[in-house]
């Protein structure tokens, strides 16, 4: 039990300065009021979080591609240069399989045949022709593989 000298300090501490009423009575009156929700700060936080996720989603997209050097414009007469070049190695890509110059082949055999073709024909060109049904990923993978083998001598054929 508190000493008689400390009791007035305790009452003064627990009382409301404006009304002079004890803390317990003041708290009982406050419980009858409905709490208000301030929506403006909540909307500020919501918009900040939304902006954060939009910016993060835009920066985390990874673009994948294959850098292909496009051939320049030929100097001189195009018909004269075309006669010196060997026929291009045409690779047709379809969902059913791959053909090289209308001969069915597999990917490991294709790489070996293309290396042989490029060794025999230093000016030879590889032409990749894909059917519309071929998945894009398969064409990009083949294009990357052929670029590793043939450098800038790889072309895409569009029908």
Mean pLDDT of the chain: 77
| Residue 80 confidence (pLDDT) | 47
Which of the two residues, 124 and 79, has the higher pLDDT score?
A: 124
Which of the two residues, 36 and 105, has the higher pLDDT score?
A: 105
Give Cβ neighbours of residue 26 (< 8 Å, ≥ 6 apart): 16, 19
Q: Which segments within 29-125 are labelled E, that is strand?
A: 89-94, 97-100, 103-105
Domains and CATH numbers, the chain: 87-157 (3.30.420.270)
pTM assigned to the model:
0.50
Distances (CA, A) of 142 to 45, 85, 117: 48, 23, 17
| Helix intervals (H) in 60-135 | 78-84, 107-120
Distances (CA, A) of 131 to 91, 96, 97, 150, 152: 11, 10, 11, 22, 22
Distances (CA, A) of 111 to 72, 79, 139: 26, 30, 15
From the list 155, 127, 142, the residue with the least C-alpha distance to 95 is 142
| Residue 86 confidence (pLDDT) | 81
Write the pLDDT tens digit of every residue in 76-111.
554 445 567 788 889 999 888 899 898 999 888 888
Residue 45 has pLDDT above 90, yes or no: yes
Which of the two residues, 157 and 81, has the higher pLDDT score?
A: 157
β-pair partners for 155: 127
β-pair partners for 98: 93, 105
From the list 128, 158, 123, 124, the residue with the least C-alpha distance to 143 is 128
CB 126 within 8 A of CB 153: yes
């Amino acid at each position: 039990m508190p000493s008689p000298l400390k009791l007035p300090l305790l009452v003064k501490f627990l009382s409301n300065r404006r009304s002079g009423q004890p803390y317990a009575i003041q708290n009982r009156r406050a419980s009858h009021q409905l709490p208000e929700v301030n929506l403006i700060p909540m909307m500020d936080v919501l918009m900040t979080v939304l902006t954060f996720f939009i910016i993060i989603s835009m920066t985390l997209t990874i673009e994948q591609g294959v850098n292909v050097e496009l051939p320049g414009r030929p100097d001189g007469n195009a018909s004269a240069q075309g006669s010196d070049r060997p026929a291009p190695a045409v690779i047709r890509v379809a969902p059913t399989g791959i053909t090289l110059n209308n001969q069915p082949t597999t990917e490991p055999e294709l790489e070996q045949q293309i290396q042989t073709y490029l060794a025999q024909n230093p000016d030879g060109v590889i032409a990749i022709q894909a059917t519309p049904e071929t998945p894009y990923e398969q064409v990009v993978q083949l294009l990357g593989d052929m670029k590793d083998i043939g450098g800038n001598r790889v072309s895409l054929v569009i029908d």
